[in-house]
Structure 1
Amino acid sequence: MSSAIKDLPLAAEFAPAGYDDWRKLALGVLKGAPFEKLQGKTPDGLPLEPIYPRAINALPVAGRPLGAPWQIVQRVDHPDAAEANKQALHDLENGATGLALVFAGSVGGRGFGLPPTREAIEKALQDVHLDAGIGIELQFAPESCDVVRHLVELIKRRGTDPAACDIRFGIDPIGARAVRGSSPTDWSEIARGIAEVARNLCAAGFKGPFLAADGRVVHDAGGSEAQELAYVLASAIAYLRALEAAAVPLDQARGMIFARLSADADQFLTLAKFRALRVLWARIEQSCGLAPKPLFVAAETAWRMLTQRDPSVNMLRATVATFSAALGGANALAVLPHTLALGLPDALARRIARNTQLVLLEESNLEKVADPAAGSGGIEALTHELCDAAWTQFQAIEQAGGVFAALAANLIQPKIAATRAVRDKAIAKRRDVLTGASEFPNLHEARATVLDAEPIAVPTFGEAKISFEPLTPLRLATPFEVLRDKSDAVLARKAARPQMFLANLGTPADFTARATFAKSFFETGGIEAIDTEGFTDPAALAAAFKASGAVFACLCSSDKAYAAHAAAAAQALREAGCGRIYLAGRPGELEASLREAGVHDFIFAGGDALAMLNDAWQRIEAA
């Protein structure tokens, strides 16, 4: 390095700047608007500041060992065990270091999964060397708990040392019952059963962990980060108490439990959530009189963020989620293939899911630094705020008698439903954007390829002894996708979609912005927009509308052009037989005159787009 470059002062030439300097400049830009306009809130109501100072004396959160890569886990969920085996071997040969055996009917099955039989397990794991450092994770329904025995027997028949196997058995009766909303047995019987299984596995030489505290149950149902954390803690404590009641020492019992969290496309919240879980679990260990040891935390990219429409965007969502969970210290990570919401993913989708992790691990070297977010003011603040919020909710669950009792009494479900309702409203109003679904739709996109596979039906237990509200999984884009499905059905029947005539007024400079907005608005609901060159003559506009064959129209232009032309244009459209007239933008003082001229509804940013589109479809179907 030359001395000239070495002595370059760089930042030293600038005057030091602090928070007060930034705030002064920010207030100038706000031009009298309150500073709070720059602040936000998480779904838990936690404050989000626009800028944070560096966190002084912050220590790294103990998690994945320094420099240790996380396990790259691939789903093995093909209903045909022979095909599942081919997929598993291909994944292992091309960079995967772990396999999640997903069985039909499990929480993570997503409509597919392996048959829960001895033959299926043996066939799916053919030529997979279980003592070669490969991580194996089981995901199964309560009715399929024999898969644990089948796997143990397979290992015994092979003569493999159980201690050499890295298997997370994934026993989670609480999670399965939370999703179904019922249980054939009470908690005391469940607790005795899982403790016996865990002790037997340990006696057989398996090192575990055996029991899973699975946060996907809450996240899939629309819950917040703090709600997911509180549920995971409460589930883990329930399993810890069950083991303790079976005379398993606490120091040994904690190693029999692992956690699983969903990772979504909110980078900072996801990162902070994974850090917060480790802080919270360390607090529980200390309360038990134990020196903290890092909990094994598995991650899976979120089901609820997947879209059927424009599924390629799911790759971007998965990349952000993987990045966040990896930096948050996840020990194992499974990426849901981007086409999973459409059906069973093909080889390309599986490859992309696998390579998303490989690129971040082997090319971006995300594992090289332990807890890289340590000291970041924003992440540290969010981590501790999540800890406080989750701990309060965890205490409420404990006061109710534990997680099973709280579910049975429907104490957890309404809180999750309330959070879900707030998020649904934000999506309906497109404040929270789902690219390709609620914004920037492509009505002419080619449908992604998925495998032709029939799901396996798994019989459920008999009559439920205990029933309560289920935590039903959802995808956030579903309400918009329902409308797109209606549009596809109309296209199949009539060779044309429902159409919206864009009544553009004035010059392109007047109408382009709002015409673009209106096109995206209506096409998110599957109503195809017919663009036009622009009109100043109401008679010409009416003639063009009649020739288009559309039933509805939307006026698009500037506020100035609306004042001059909108009323006459609306009257001409009404006289031409337009069944419904919309206007893009807020009407302001013109609302009364515009409605009198024939405008029925106004579409604008922040309005309830979903409600407007559903209303339009009711009129389309009634026509």
Structure 2
Amino acid sequence: MTSTVLADLPFMDAFATPGEAQWRAAVDKVLKGADFEKKLVGRTADGVRIEPLYEAAAEGGARPLRAEAGRWRVAARIDHPDTAEAARLALAELEGGADSLSLSFAGAPPARGFGLNATSVDALDATLDGVMLDLVRLRLDPAPGGRKHALLLADLVDKRGHAPSSLQIDFGMEPIGVLASSGALAVPLSELGKRITETIGNLKARGFTGPFLTADGRTWHEAGATEAQELGAVLATAVTYLRLLEAQGIPLAEARDAISFTLVADADEFVTVAKLRAARLLWDRVQRACGLEPKPVFIHAETAWRSLTRRDPWVNLLRGTIAAFSAGVGGADSIGVQPFTAALGLPDGFARRIARNTQLILLEEANLWRVADPAAGAGGFEALTQALCEQGWRKFQDLEAESSGDLTGIVGALANGHIQKGLARERDARAKAIATRREPITGTSEFPNLSEAPVAVLAPPPAAAPSKDASGDAIIVEALPSIRLAEPFEALRASADIAEAAGERPKTFLATLGPIAGFTARAGFARNLFEAGGIAAPSGDGFAKTGTTNLDALVAAFRASGAKLACLCGSDEAYVAEAIPAAMALTAAGATVWLAGRPGEQETALREAGVTNFIFAGCDAIAVLQDALAIAISPVSTSKG
């Protein structure tokens, strides 16, 4: 609050203004000796501290503002291979509220194996039949042959008689991103510079104003990049384009104006907001280093592919909403929301409508666009923005220092494997966090739904594309993968589904000990874990009789279940009193016996009684579920007796 506002509230003088010391003292009382850092301080994948409390940010400093305040553009992807269907979907998107179309040609990574098959002006004209090019913004998704697609779109504009200078088109050429995702570039960098300069010259001579090139963060994000790695790669890509164009005689100011950014909006609200704001500040710094007066770059944001799930895909609606909200608050000029079924195949009209309406609600009902840079002044956002500026700049400098032969910067870092190694380390670290469920995926690794109903798509996922024969290409690098975080759990679910289709869903018998109040917590944990792998784990009211477990009833229920794996679930007290005889009885009945919880001092005795594994919070759930599936679907019982 300002002093003027406080002056209007004289009763506030009756309350002492608390400081950080008083707050910390109150927190320490609640923690009761627990470690403050471990309990209340988080860290991003880049190691940036997330404090529980921030002071208001100091006034002044650079502001990461857009070139034009107001509404962002609502972008929708057009990627259907059938021309007539693509045209129908395009009109449906525009009639439903979109005002920007992202054209994904076949071969474009964002098309996911689908994409437009328009190879002529007439075919592209039919694809955009009814679309008034002067009323919408168009952008091309980066793809091999991006120069050809750019000129094809320009020819369509000529055919329709539009004044190119009146249109808003981002031509989306991104040869470095194509190199990273495909592993090959057909020409040396010097020749690449000549070709993109000729293409830009052609387009500018016709009257197009660009941008013509984009630095696309999706390539790096899908390969596992942290926020700082994505920022560093985008900056390094843009600077490489500046150098290529300048070497061909294009003034730096014109080269700068030829470039746009594409960044990923993920489901972490605070970090996504900070990343977009940091991108603008970092680009300002690059421009000043080039001797230019900074101009805001156009930023298109797209919700994260790697966060989408095939299981319980309705949860993707929540992820998309958080990501779109964050992109809007962070200052994106246009936003594309992935339809919630995108990981399952080519989205239908319903999924596309929901994706579009997510943005429209944020614009029309939440009115997010009415405040320029709404995160300004908030201590948390400003601190995260500054931290990502520092980390992103460091990653950018690291890439600039790399080389391989005569290749320097980000291309050299791709050629010598520096980027691939760095991203692989991050993928491994995140995969471990996913496997141990320290980074839970709702609907997949946590709270799975084995009875989920299928959702509709226009076409299932395409088959894997054959590997490219790179012979004759001038630059060859190790291609970056495109991953989704949920894939390891989805593979387990798929194996369980195959077993169910062949006979019966794999199951685990939850051998509950003691009264229901004693076993509910661990039975719930175990059920949640097993179902994340597609393994049914039903439980009832237990087998307690006058406070203790009726082992005869428990063993009879196990035999009747048809399960091969039994998991003991109970309180610590029940384990001390009953786990060993229960394990022995179940083992004698032919069960492979596990226990929910850490074994502690009982481990040796429990193992001697027949317990072969222990499941607990923080265990490697992927490894555990692989073992459980192997037991559950094995044709021969693992019984010892």
Q: Shorter-chain-normalised TM-score: which range?
A: over 0.9
1-structure distance, mates of 2:541, 2:287: 69
Question: Any idea what SS the aligned residue of 2:578 has?
Answer: helix
Residue aligning to 2:455? 448
Residue aligning to 1:311? 313
Residues 15 and 158 of structure 1: CA distance in aligned 2, closer, same or farther (over 3 Å): same
Aligned partner of 1:438 among 439, 442, 445? 445
Shift of 1:465: 3.6
Residue aligning to 1:532? 540
Question: Any idea what SS the aligned residue of 1:237 has?
Answer: helix
Q: Does 1:478 align with 2:487?
A: yes
Report which stretch shifted further, 524-533 or 436-445. 524-533
TM, length-normalised to structure 2 = 0.93
Q: Does 1:170 align with 2:154?
A: no
Shift of 1:110: 1.6
Question: Any idea what SS the aligned residue of 2:204 has?
Answer: helix
2-structure distance, mates of 1:565, 1:74: 59
Q: How does 1:342-353 map to 2 (within 5 A)?
A: 342-353=344-355
Residues 256 and 65 of structure 1: CA distance in aligned 2, closer, same or farther (over 3 Å): closer
Is the CA contact (8 Å cut-off) linking 1:79 and 1:454 kept in structure 2?
Answer: no
Q: How does 1:498-537 map to 2 (within 5 A)?
A: 498-535=506-543, 536-537=549-550
Question: Any idea what SS the aligned residue of 1:470 has?
Answer: coil
Shift of 1:462: 5.2
Q: How does 1:29-428 map to 2 (within 5 A)?
A: 29-37=30-38, 38-59=40-61, 61-65=63-67, 67-118=69-120, 119-132=122-135, 134-143=136-145, 145-400=147-402, 401-428=408-435
Q: What is the letter of the counterpart of residue 586 of structure 1?
A: R
Is the CA contact (8 Å cut-off) linking 1:143 and 1:459 kept in structure 2?
Answer: no
Shift of 1:295: 0.6
Q: What is the letter of the counterpart of residue 562 of structure 1?
A: Y
Q: Does 1:562 align with 2:564?
A: no
2-structure distance, mates of 1:620, 1:529: 11
Report which stretch shifted further, 314-323 or 195-204. 195-204
2-structure distance, mates of 1:316, 1:530: 28
Question: Any idea what SS the aligned residue of 1:142 has?
Answer: coil
Residue aligning to 2:588? 575
What runs of 5+ residues in structure 1 fail to find an aligned partner?
A: 1-5
Residues 533 and 307 of structure 1: CA distance in aligned 2, closer, same or farther (over 3 Å): same
Q: What is the letter of the counterpart of residue 372 of structure 1?
A: P
Residue aligning to 2:546? none
Shift of 1:65: 4.7
Residues 570 and 460 of structure 1: CA distance in aligned 2, closer, same or farther (over 3 Å): closer
2-structure distance, mates of 1:256, 1:420: 33
Aligned-residue sequence identity (percent) comes to 52
Aligned partner of 1:492 among 496, 501, 524? 501
Is the CA contact (8 Å cut-off) linking 1:301 and 1:322 kept in structure 2?
Answer: yes
Report which stretch shifted further, 544-553 or 144-153. 144-153
Question: Any idea what SS the aligned residue of 1:583 has?
Answer: strand
Residue aligning to 1:3? none
Is the CA contact (8 Å cut-off) linking 1:78 and 1:114 kept in structure 2?
Answer: yes
Aligned partner of 1:604 among 616, 623, 629? 616
Give per-residue Cα distances to partners, 1:376-426, cap 9 Å, x unaligned: 111111111111111111112111121111111111111111111111101
Question: Any idea what SS the aligned residue of 2:145 has?
Answer: helix
Question: Any idea what SS the aligned residue of 1:451 has?
Answer: strand
Residues 147 and 393 of structure 1: CA distance in aligned 2, closer, same or farther (over 3 Å): same
Residues 507 and 458 of structure 1: CA distance in aligned 2, closer, same or farther (over 3 Å): closer
1-structure distance, mates of 2:99, 2:467: 32
CA RMSD of aligned residues (A): 1.8
2-structure distance, mates of 1:337, 1:155: 29
Is the CA contact (8 Å cut-off) linking 1:63 and 1:295 kept in structure 2?
Answer: no
Shift of 1:432: 0.6
Shift of 1:455: 5.5
Shift of 1:7: 8.0
Report which stretch shifted further, 516-525 or 107-116. 107-116
Shift of 1:445: 0.4
Q: How many residues align?
A: 615
Question: Any idea what SS the aligned residue of 1:197 has?
Answer: helix
1-structure distance, mates of 2:146, 2:260: 20
Is the CA contact (8 Å cut-off) linking 2:193 and 2:248 kept in structure 1?
Answer: no
Q: Does 1:548 align with 2:551?
A: no
2-structure distance, mates of 1:196, 1:44: 39
Q: What is the letter of the counterpart of residue 28 of structure 1?
A: K
Is the CA contact (8 Å cut-off) linking 2:345 and 2:461 kept in structure 1?
Answer: no
1-structure distance, mates of 2:130, 2:559: 67
Is the CA contact (8 Å cut-off) linking 2:172 and 2:212 kept in structure 1?
Answer: yes
2-structure distance, mates of 1:593, 1:106: 58
List structure 1 segments (4+ residues) > 4 angstroms apart after TM superposition.
6-13, 453-462
Residue aligning to 1:26? 27
Residues 461 and 237 of structure 1: CA distance in aligned 2, closer, same or farther (over 3 Å): farther
Residue aligning to 1:591? 603
Residues 363 and 12 of structure 1: CA distance in aligned 2, closer, same or farther (over 3 Å): farther
2-structure distance, mates of 1:567, 1:10: 66
What runs of 5+ residues in structure 2 fail to find an aligned partner?
A: 1-6, 403-407, 544-548, 636-641
Q: Does 1:467 align with 2:476?
A: yes
Question: Any idea what SS the aligned residue of 2:291 has?
Answer: coil
Is the CA contact (8 Å cut-off) linking 1:225 and 1:273 kept in structure 2?
Answer: yes
Give per-residue Cα distances to partners, 1:310-353, cap 9 Å, x unaligned: 00000000000001111110001000100000001111100000
Q: What is the letter of the counterpart of residue 343 of structure 2?
A: A
